[in-house]
């Protein structure tokens, strides 16, 4: 569609940033100074190693460190070693903010790799925008964000739901029960799900949110029984994923008749809950551990060798891994004196690489990533069987739920 009108939106709510400033054009003194010295490039690693989301975030920390170690083992970047500064934000957004400030202002890291929840990303975003630094965010998220200071390598709603929702309606029926954790990500994903249900003849029989870390789902499961949806569309996260699946199974519900369809259940949560609790349910994501490609076989083998044979890879640890290689690709283009966050951002625009899931690309206009959506069913052995695999990569549409709004290099625009 041709752009007929461009209006830079000024509302904080529309921009979706914690600061309300969207694309800040403030340049601070230190942002223009080269940040690599003495043969080292310092980066931050900011994933929770304790708290309710540590169940997933410790694996993102491991994937990030693995990529850094691999790059350093082959000579680093233009002869310089990547030096990770690891902090534990303890699954607490306020601590994320505190640790991010330390990494950017105190440690002078040239980029930070971090966050799982949108709450934690929103908590650190003002720091990266004010300091004009760069945050690499590997997690699938709700979109509706347009920042020059974040590289988004996880999926946005159109990349997880456009194929998934109509597939579920056709296979199981039109009645959906939406259950999620109570914060921005599940609410925005469910907002987009509602639009797709309207478009494809589906309906919402109930929509409910539980606190982060919630573990008692008896009343929720009673509502499943009373409303009898065809599909339980789940965006609960962290430990709650494990509790919901185990209690669903204990209640005697049958995934063949009323499956859970998730955007957040990966091999990591399945390993925690046990394969029997996950078997028969569905997940939509760009990556599964069973994906067949030489790049994925190498990634899985290296991850197991480094962290243990019992460890699994999944759709958030994979972008945590490949985004470090995109960082390398960008920094390789720069002379040492030019290694600054703004220059790295400009150098990564349009970057492509063969990731474990397939060829990915950073969109220059919005800094999100073209990915390969898949639909898979969990098996009792703890792995997934991929049932639907995209024939080509799917470009990101961060504002898919908001027609007329587009994230461009100029900022958020109205068309």
- CATH code for residues 158-285: 3.40.50.2300
Of 29 and 72, the one with more pLDDT = 72
Helix (H) / strand (E) element for 186: namely helix 184-200
- Tens digits of residue pLDDT in 182-230: 999 999 999 999 999 999 999 999 999 999 889 999 999 999 999 999 9
Average the pLDDT over each of 23-27, 59-63, 115-119 and give the range with the smallest value: 23-27
pLDDT digits (tens, 9 = 90+) for 358-374: 999 999 999 999 999 99
pLDDT at 33: 53
Cα 351 to Cα 411: distance, rounded to the nearest angstrom? 20
Check if the beta carbon of residue 112 is closer than 8 Å to that of residue 136. yes
**Is residue 9's pLDDT more than 90?**
no
pLDDT for position 411: 87
Give the β-pairing of 260-262 and 282-285: parallel
Domain 40-155+290-372: assigned CATH number? 3.40.50.2300
Domains 40-155+290-372 and 158-285 fall in the same CATH topology: yes
Q: For residue 34, name the pLDDT band (cuts at 50, 70, 90).
A: low
Contacts of 90 (CB under 8 A, 6+ apart): 48, 49, 50, 51
- Beta carbons of 407 and 399 less than 8 angstroms apart: yes
Contacts of 399 (CB under 8 A, 6+ apart): 143, 144, 146, 405, 406, 407, 412
Return the domain boundaries, the chain: 40-155+290-372, 158-285
Whether the per-residue pLDDT at 21 is higher than 50: the answer is no
| pLDDT score, position 275 | 97
Residue 73 predicted with pLDDT over 70:
yes
**Model confidence over 75-90: pLDDT tens digits?**
999 999 999 999 999 9
Span 284-313, average pLDDT? 97
**Of 348, 342, 343, 344, residue with least CA distance to 364:** 348
Number of H helices and number of E strands within the chain?
Answer: 14, 18
Residue 168's alpha-carbon distances to 171, 229, 262, in angstroms, are 5, 12, 11
Residue-level pLDDT at 415? 83
Nearest residue to 151 (alpha-carbon basis) of 159, 141, 160: 141
Question: What are 332-362's pLDDT values in tens digits?
Answer: 999 999 999 999 999 999 999 999 999 999 9
């Amino acid at each position: 569609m041709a752009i007929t009108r461009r209006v830079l939106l000024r509302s904080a709510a529309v921009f979706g940033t914690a600061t309300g400033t969207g694309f800040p054009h403030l340049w601070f003194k230190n942002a223009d100074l080269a940040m690599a010295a003495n043969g080292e490039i310092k980066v931050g690693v900011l994933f929770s190693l304790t708290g309710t989301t540590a169940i997933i975030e410790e694996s993102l920390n491991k994937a990030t460190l693995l990529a850094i170690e691999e790059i350093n083992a082959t000579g680093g970047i233009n002869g310089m070693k990547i030096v990770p500064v690891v902090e534990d934000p303890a699954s607490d957004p306020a601590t994320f903010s505190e640790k991010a400030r330390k990494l950017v202002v105190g440690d002078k890291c040239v980029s930070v790799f971090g966050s799982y929840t949108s709450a934690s990303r929103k908590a650190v975003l003002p720091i990266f925008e004010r300091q004009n630094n760069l945050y690499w965010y590997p997690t699938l998220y709700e979109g509706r964000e347009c920042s020059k200071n974040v590289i988004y390598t996880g999926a946005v709603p159109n990349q997880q739901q456009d194929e998934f929702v109509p597939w579920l309606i056709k296979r199981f029926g039109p009645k959906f029960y939406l259950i999620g954790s109570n914060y921005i990500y599940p609410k925005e994903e469910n907002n987009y799900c509602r639009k797709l249900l309207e478009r494809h003849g589906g309906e919402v029989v109930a929509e409910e949110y539980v606190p982060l870390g919630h573990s008692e789902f008896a009343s929720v499961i009673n509502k499943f029984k009373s409303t009898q949806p065809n599909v339980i569309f789940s965006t609960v996260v962290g430990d709650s994923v494990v509790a919901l699946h185990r209690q669903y199974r204990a209640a005697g519900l049958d995934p063949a008749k009323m499956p859970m369809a998730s955007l957040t259940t990966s091999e990591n949560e399945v390993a925690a809950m046990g394969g029997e609790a996950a078997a028969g349910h569905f997940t939509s994501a760009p990556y599964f551990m069973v994906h067949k490609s030489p790049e994925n076989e190498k990634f899985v083998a290296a991850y197991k060798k480094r962290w243990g044979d019992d460890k699994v890879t999944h759709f958030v640890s994979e972008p945590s891994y490949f985004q470090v290689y995109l960082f390398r690709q960008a920094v390789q283009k720069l002379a040492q004196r030019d290694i600054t966050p703004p220059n790295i951002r400009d150098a990564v625009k349009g970057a492509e690489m063969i990731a474990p899931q397939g060829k990915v690309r950073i969109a220059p206009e919005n800094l999100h990533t073209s990915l390969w959506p898949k639909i898979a069913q969990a098996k009792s052995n703890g792995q997934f069987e991929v049932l639907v695999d995209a024939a080509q990569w799917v470009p990101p549409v961060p504002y898919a739920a908001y027609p007329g709004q587009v994230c461009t290099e100029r900022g958020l625009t109205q068309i």
